[in-house]
């Protein structure tokens, strides 16, 4: 009998044997004709795929609350289905589009890694924001994450953005011990006392392990969020346009013309949050706005990449909050239905740059490309004290 | 007042690749509905585009043939619009950095050579096809053509008559087929074009209102549409019959009229942006040089060379240079036998007529030119009779692996030098028909052809005609 843990996939990962819905009524009951590369490689490595976990509609929300098929509440807070299944003993694999996996795992006492962009094939994941989304792993321990990452990180000819085998292999090892970690001044804006305390705890543990922690002045966390929202929603608008009611998925029964078929199918099957994202993205890509919205966001992305490069000349990693608070309630959403486009301030820097990021205990660590192993090594310092 | 027409063309050409642009489905024309499809070209989620390198090869080839600058870093972009034949609701095309820019094509006009500037050539995927006639009130979609690779060749508005447009299109047709970029078959839709046209008073530098006629797929229809649109524009300007607006129009060839499809105001915004799933393609020197070295001689350069260096007649040179496949066959045959005129004769009178009888286009020729050269040698040195040589050629069409000499031997096509055999056949034929022999002796010379034919048949063609004729005459007169 296999001693390996079982795998649970979030509903952005396509499977032949189970429906893949992306949390949307649009894909209710949708059966893919092929498995995602992550599924194929995990199966070949002897892992049992236990099943699927629900996710927010196209995985852009906070922690899964926008799922058409419902989201559980515990003590008045939303709970993430993938994290619940990891707590029950599995290892989770999902698509991190807008940080929901990082937020949920950091809030649930679990750990997740969003590996360096291009090392884990995105073949067979429902495309939303292709330039930044990454197949990610949620586990109970850093070792869980490392183990599954070593399977899903490999070159794949079916993904044009997949990096070479040499580069993919780099994420599987810890090349060096972290000695200096930076906290970026702008990253603490808006976080509550509980999260601030999480940062302090983590900082203290790092220092006890001989890691120097410094606060550094940086605007990265101010600019990454608006730029990422533009890029993510624009790409989303384009990618979900294929869900038009013509070929598969939901089709309205209320139409006489092709335009009504499109409009009514999408109106009836898409949720409010997704519609906001589509409209915002569509506006950013319009001829009138392209230069000052989409193109500018691309330029901001380059500036942020360069800003991180400069920080990593002096530091091994960046420590920052994973979220502004440790749980979200239905009340939060009622007050601000676009909260996920604000909370992603903490996750957008790693999404927009494709840098690896590990989330746990209310915080996230961001490192240079291919420093995935080192980030998990830092996480183990925390685990030794707190587990 | 005198007017001038200003025309620019957008020509779509399907590339001659085996597979589609982003998946491994066949790009072949003519399969049953949705037989050449997969999750990728049906727009299902989770399939990522992987660029077919051959498409870039052919895009570069087209660019070089049309004297373009090749962008050493070329990118793919997404163009969004909803239509049921476009499964992703976006087309992957090139908007920001097309593979080739700033070229030109030279055409012949009554007033001499004219340069038509090429603005750009971009690579993109084709859309599918809607089928309306399967059942009433329903439309079906066939995705076979979806993601078949295309290039779009965008000219500057340098053309000023239907004749020039036709000359330009014929020139593109010839160059692209010569470079094996596309088979350019209008009737199969592998070549089609959009015509942008405006009219202005002669000498004016300001452009008139522009209309675009979409999806034209025959030269005669294009010429008719241009004449119609020109007249419509002039009529509107002179007589105020209508107010011209910038719009897209559809040509109805049966009615001989164009109809408005959509105006600029109702046209959609295509929301172009770079495709994040396709990394920029960098064309290094080695790749550039490889494609550059593979370019064919231009057809008119070949023609000139065939006439001046190989001594072909203008007619023969024109015939052979009408197709790249005929040129290749001719040059291969010539390289083996060194007899240019004989090669041209065989290709024009034999090869082309076999192609015609098989209803094949010249470009479909797969005959091994070197084997043809060997066959020509056999016939010219008298080893095989000409009539039997044609039989060998026919067999070579059906089986490319045939060695002409071996085939001739196996089928008894080798000319015999055994004079006693010839004499015995002559005696047998003549003795069986004493009346004809008597007629000939009586002065009816023409009757000798009948005996000659019967003897040749008896000898199964394997006899030098001179030898047979002499043997016959000797027998009759002796
Ligand atoms: Zn396909």
| Tens digits of residue pLDDT in A264-322 | 999 999 999 999 999 999 999 999 999 999 999 999 999 999 999 999 999 999 999 99
Token pair listed for A372: 């995935």
Contact A158 B46 (CB under 8 A): no
pLDDT band at A10 (very low <50, low <70, confident <90, very high): very high
- Residue B112: count of CB within 10 angstroms of its CB: 6
**Using CA atoms, how far apart are residues B158 and A71, in angstroms rounded to an integer?**
62
Q: CB count, 10 Å around CB of A334?
A: 9
User: What single-letter DSSP state applies at residue A18?
Assistant: S
Band of residue B265 on the pLDDT scale cut at 50, 70, 90:
low
A387 versus B42: which is more confidently predicted? B42
* Best CA proximity match to B197, nearest among B151, B268, B247, B242: B247
For residue A131, the SS3 value is coil
Over residues B140-150, the mean pLDDT reads 96
- Across B285-317, b (16+ Cβ under 10 Å) vs e yields eebeeebeeeebebbeebbeebeeebebeeebb
A243 within domain boundaries: no
Cβ-based interface (< 8 Å): residues of B facing A: 39, 42-51, 78, 80, 82, 84, 87-90, 141, 269, 271-274, 276-279
What integer is the mean pLDDT of A29-37? 98
Q: What is the mean pLDDT of residues A93-116?
A: 98
Sorting pLDDT into bands at 50, 70 and 90, what band is A1? Answer: very low
DSSP-derived pairing of the beta strands A212-216 and A180-184: parallel
pLDDT of residue B63: 98
Find the length of chain A.
387
Q: What is the pLDDT of residues B101-118, one digit of tens each?
A: 999 999 999 999 999 999
**pLDDT at residue B266 greater than cutoff 70:** no
Q: Per-residue pLDDT for B35 more than 90?
A: yes
Query: How would residue B464 be classed by pLDDT, with cut points 50, 70 and 90?
Result: confident
Test mutation, B45, B75, B127, B147, chain A, max A CBs within 10 A: B45
Q: Which residues constitute the domain of residue A43?
A: 7-224+295-386
CA atoms within 13 A on the CB side of B107: 23
Residue A167 falls inside a structural domain = yes
Report the percentage of chain A scoring pLDDT > 70. 99
pLDDT at B133 over 90: no
A256 at interface of B, judged by CB pairs closer than 8 A: no
- The residue among A132 and B2 whose pLDDT is bigger is A132
3-state secondary structure of A250: coil
Contacts of A238 in chain B (CB under 8 A): 78, 80, 90, 271, 273
For A332, the token pair is 């939060």
- Give chain B's largest Cα–Cα span: 97
Q: At residue A2, does pLDDT exceed 60?
A: no
- Domain B419-477, CATH 2.70.98 — does that match? no
B-contacting residues in A 9-68 (Cβ below 8 Å): 14, 20, 22, 27, 32-34, 36
| CATH number, residue A355 | 3.90.1300.10
Using a CB-CB cut-off of 8 Å, the residues of chain A touching B88 are 241-242
Please indicate whether, in this complex, the C-beta atoms of A127 and B46 are within 8 angstroms of each other. yes
Please list, residue by residue across B204-238, b when 16 or more beta carbons sit within 10 angstroms of its beta carbon and e when fewer do: eeeebbbbbbbebbebebbbbbbeebbebbbebbe
| Structural domain count of chain A | 1
B99 in Cβ contact with B71 (< 8 Å): yes
Per-residue pLDDT tens for B64-85? 999 999 999 999 999 999 999 9
Q: Which residue has the higher pLDDT, B426 or B419?
A: B426
Considering only the beta carbons, identify the residue of B89, B269, B272 that sits closest to A241. Answer: B89
Residue B469: the pLDDT is 86
Q: How far apart are the first and last CA of chain A?
A: 28
> What is the pLDDT, as a whole number, of residue B465?
83
Please tell me the distance from the alpha carbon of residue A233 to that of residue A281, in angstroms, as a whole number: 4
Residue B137 pLDDT: 85
On the question of pLDDT at B381 being above 90, the answer is no
3-state SS of chain B is CCEEEEEEEEEEEECCCCECCCCCCECCCCCCCCCCCCCCCCCCCCCCCCCCHHHHHHHHHHHHHCCCEECCEECCEEEECCCCCCCCCEEEECCCCCCEEEEEEEEEECCEEEEEEEEEEEEEECCCEEECCCCCCCCEEECCCCCCEEEEEEECCCECCHHHHHHHHHHHHHHHHHCCCCCCCHHHCCEEEEEEEEEEECCCCCCCCCEEEEEECCHHHHHHHHHHHHHHHHHHHHHCCCCCCCEEEEEECCCCEEEEEEECCCCCCCCCEECCCCCCEECCHHHHHHHHHHCCCCHHHHHHHHHHCCCCCHHHHHHHCCCHHHHHHHHHHHHHHCCHHHHHHHHHHHHHHHHHHCCCCHHHCCCCHHHHHHHHHHHHCCCECHHHHHHHHHHHHHCCCCCHHHHHHHCCCECCCCHHHHHHHHHHHHHHCHHHHHHHHCCCHHHHHHHHHHHHHHCCCCCCHHHHHHHHHHHHHC
Query: What's the whole-number mean pLDDT along residues A233-248?
Result: 97
Mean pLDDT for chain A overall: 97
Least confident piece of the model among A45-59, B13-27, B234-248: B234-248
**CATH 1.10.10 residue spans of chain B:** 419-477
Average pLDDT, chain B: 92
Q: And the tokens for B356?
A: 């015609």
Task: Please report the ipTM that was assigned to this predicted complex.
Answer: 0.95
Output the CA B130–ligand 1 centroid distance in Å: 17
Residue B158: how many other CB atoms lie within 10 Å: 20
Q: Is A272 among the domain residues?
A: no
């Amino acid at each position: 009998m296999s001693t390996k843990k079982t795998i649970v996939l979030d509903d952005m990962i396509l499977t032949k044997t189970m429906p893949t819905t992306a949390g949307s009524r649009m894909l209710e009951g949708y059966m893919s004709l092929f498995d995602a590369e992550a599924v194929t490689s995990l199966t070949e490595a002897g892992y049992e795929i236990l099943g699927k976990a629900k996710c927010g509609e196209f995985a852009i929300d906070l922690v899964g609350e926008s799922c058409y098929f419902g989201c559980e509440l515990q003590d008045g807070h939303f709970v993430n289905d993938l994290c619940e299944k990891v707590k029950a003993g599995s290892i989770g694999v999902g698509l991190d589009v807008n940080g929901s996996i990082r937020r949920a795992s950091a809030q649930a006492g679990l750990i997740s890694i969003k590996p360096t962009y291009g090392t884990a094939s995105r073949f067979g994941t429902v495309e939303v924001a292709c330039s930044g989304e990454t197949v990610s792993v949620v586990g109970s321990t850093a070792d869980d994450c490392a183990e599954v990452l070593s399977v899903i990180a490999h070159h794949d000819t079916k993904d044009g953005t997949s990096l070479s085998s040499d580069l993919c292999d780099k994420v599987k090892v810890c090349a060096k011990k972290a000695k200096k970690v930076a906290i970026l001044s702008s990253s603490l804006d808006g976080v509550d006392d509980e999260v601030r305390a999480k940062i302090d705890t983590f900082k203290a543990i790092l220092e006890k392990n001989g890691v120097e922690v410094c606060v550094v002045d940086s605007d990265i966390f101010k600019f990454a969020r608006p730029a990422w929202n533009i890029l993510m929603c624009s790409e989303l608008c384009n990618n979900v346009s294929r869900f038009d009611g013509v070929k598969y998925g939901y089709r309205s029964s209320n139409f006489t013309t092709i335009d009504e078929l499109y409009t009514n199918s999408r109106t009836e099957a898409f949720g409010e949050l997704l519609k906001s994202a589509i409209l915002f993205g569509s506006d950013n890509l319009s001829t009138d706005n392209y230069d000052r919205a989409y193109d500018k966001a691309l330029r901001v992305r380059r500036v942020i990449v360069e800003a991180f490069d400069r920080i990593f000349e002096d530091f091994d990693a960046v420590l920052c909050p994973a979220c502004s608070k440790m749980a979200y309630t239905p009340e939060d959403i009622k007050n601000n239905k676009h909260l996920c486009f604000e909370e992603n301030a903490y996750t957008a820097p790693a999404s927009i740059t494709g840098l690896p990021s590990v989330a746990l205990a209310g915080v996230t660590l961001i490192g240079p490309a291919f420093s995935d192993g080192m980030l998990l090594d830092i996480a183990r310092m925390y685990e030794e004290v707190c587990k | 007042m005198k007017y001038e027409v200003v025309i620019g063309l957008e020509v779509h050409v399907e590339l001659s690749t085996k597979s589609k642009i982003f998946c491994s489905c066949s790009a072949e024309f003519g399969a049953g509905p949705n037989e050449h499809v997969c999750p990728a070209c049906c727009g299902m989620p989770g399939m990522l585009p992987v660029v077919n390198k051959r498409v870039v090869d052919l895009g570069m080839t087209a660019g070089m043939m049309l004297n373009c600058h090749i962008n050493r870093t070329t990118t793919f972009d997404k163009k969004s619009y909803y239509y049921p034949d476009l499964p992703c609701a976006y087309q992957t095309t090139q908007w920001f950095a097309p593979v080739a820019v700033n070229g030109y094509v030279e055409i012949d006009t009554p007033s001499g050579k004219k340069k038509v500037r090429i603005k750009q050539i971009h690579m993109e995927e084709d859309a599918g096809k809607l089928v309306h006639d399967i059942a009433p009130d329903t439309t079906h979609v066939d995705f076979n053509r979806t993601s078949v690779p295309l290039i779009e060749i965008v000219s500057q508005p340098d053309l000023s008559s239907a004749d020039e447009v036709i000359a330009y299109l014929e020139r593109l047709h010839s160059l692209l087929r010569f470079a094996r970029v596309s088979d350019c078959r209008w009737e199969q839709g592998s070549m089609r074009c959009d015509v942008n046209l405006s009219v202005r008073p002669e000498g004016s530098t300001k452009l008139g209102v522009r209309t675009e006629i979409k999806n034209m797929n025959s030269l005669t229809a294009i010429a008719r549409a241009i004449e119609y649109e020109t007249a419509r524009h002039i009529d509107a300007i002179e007589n105020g019959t209508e107010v011209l607006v910038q719009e897209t129009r559809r040509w109805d060839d049966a009615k001989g009229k164009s109809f408005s499809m959509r105006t600029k105001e109702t046209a959609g915004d295509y929301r172009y942006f770079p495709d994040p799933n396709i990394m920029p393609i960098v064309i290094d020197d080695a790749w550039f040089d490889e494609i550059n070295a593979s370019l064919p001689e231009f057809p008119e350069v070949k023609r000139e060379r065939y006439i001046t260096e190989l001594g072909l007649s203008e007619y023969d040179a024109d015939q052979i240079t009408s197709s790249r496949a005929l040129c290749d066959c001719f040059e291969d045959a010539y390289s083996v036998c060194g007899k240019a005129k004989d090669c041209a004769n065989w290709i024009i009178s034999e090869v082309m007529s076999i192609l015609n009888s098989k209803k094949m286009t010249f470009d479909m020729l797969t005959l091994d030119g070197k084997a043809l050269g060997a066959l020509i040698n056999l016939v010219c040195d008298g080893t095989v009779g000409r009539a039997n040589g044609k039989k060998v050629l026919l067999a070579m069409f059906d089986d490319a692996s045939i060695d002409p000499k071996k085939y001739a031997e196996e089928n008894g096509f080798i000319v015999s030098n055994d004079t006693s055999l010839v004499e015995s056949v002559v005696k047998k034929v003549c003795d069986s028909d004493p009346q004809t022999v008597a007629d000939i002796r009586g002065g009816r010379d023409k009757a000798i052809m009948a005996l000659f034919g019967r003897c040749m048949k008896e000898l199964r063609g394997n006899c030098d005609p001179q030898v047979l004729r002499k043997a016959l005459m000797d027998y009759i007169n002796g």
